[in-house]
Amino acid sequence: MDDFKGFELPDVACGGEAADPQACACEAPRKRGRPRAFDPDAVLETVLEMFWMRGFANTSLDDIAAATGVSRPSLSATFGDKEALYLKAMERYRQAISGKLDQVLQCNGQNDNLRGIINRYFDVMIRSYTGDVDGESEAGECLGCAFMCTALNEAPRHESIMSVLQGTIEEFDARFERFFAKAQKMGHIGSNQNPKVMSQMITSLTSSLAVRARAGASRDDLKAIVEATTSFLFP
């Protein structure tokens, strides 16, 4: 079974011919700007947690400045307005999840199977939704998906958020459609099954788990839903 895997300014010379050398003033080199006194990655991590817990509307730039110790002008100069800051934080989240999926959406050996691979994917998502991104926490929190659970309310009022939301859904659909198309070519699903529809079923279940986690469902409850669904889809 194969892998299922996507200046310093130059010195200014005076060219004048004035009799009085002081009459020909040379431009002094401009001073460099002060270096940043904060780590943008660390700020984005804190911002991500704030948006994740509070949502977009309930998180103000004043809140972010207080939590990060970075002034509003510095935040704006580095990241843009609140909407741009939100999107950068969500991109950080997406990249973290995507990196984990690159590790699990592949075969681990000849005894591995399609159901096992999909279950590993859902395990990653459930851990993220319940506050265990690194696989260390056992308590769990009512988080859901950092992006899906916060973007849905804002998308109708913010074109950029709507665009990224649509693109994220399409990206997940396309990723799993390629995954299932390859599995089909290798004989792991029937020729009568539609990779596009199967991908939409997986992403729909992913969204449902995110909402349930946000509403307080436990990790065990979410795992039970996944087990029942994948045993039906991949007997």
123 and 227 Cβ atoms separated by less than 8 Å: no
Predicted confidence band at 77 (pLDDT cuts at 50, 70, 90)?
very high
- What does the pLDDT read at residue 61? 95
Q: Which residue has the higher pLDDT, 119 or 10?
A: 119
Q: What is the pLDDT of residue 229?
A: 95
Mean pLDDT (whole number) for 137-163: 84
Q: pLDDT at residue 30 above 90?
A: no
The mean per-residue pLDDT over the stretch 103-110 comes to 77
Give mean pLDDT, residues 139-167: 87
Residue 134 has pLDDT above 60, yes or no: no
CA distance 235 to 190: 12
What is the arithmetic mean of pLDDT over 40-53? 93
**Is residue 35 scored above 50 in pLDDT?**
no
Domain segments of the chain: what residues? 36-233
pLDDT tier at 143, thresholds 50, 70, 90: confident
**Closest C-alpha among 103, 220, 234 to residue 180:** 234
Range in 41-55, 58-72, 86-100, 122-136 with the lowest mean pLDDT: 122-136
- For 172-211, how does the pLDDT look when each residue is reduced to its tens digit (9 = 90+)? 899 999 999 999 998 888 899 999 999 999 999 999 999 9
Residues 45-52: contacts with CB under 8 Å, at least 24 apart: 45/92, 47/85, 47/86, 47/88, 47/89, 48/89, 48/90, 48/92, 48/93, 48/146, 51/86, 51/89, 51/90, 51/146, 51/150, 52/93, 52/143, 52/146, 52/150
Computed over every residue of the chain, the mean pLDDT equals 82
Was domain 36-233 assigned CATH 1.10.357.10?
yes
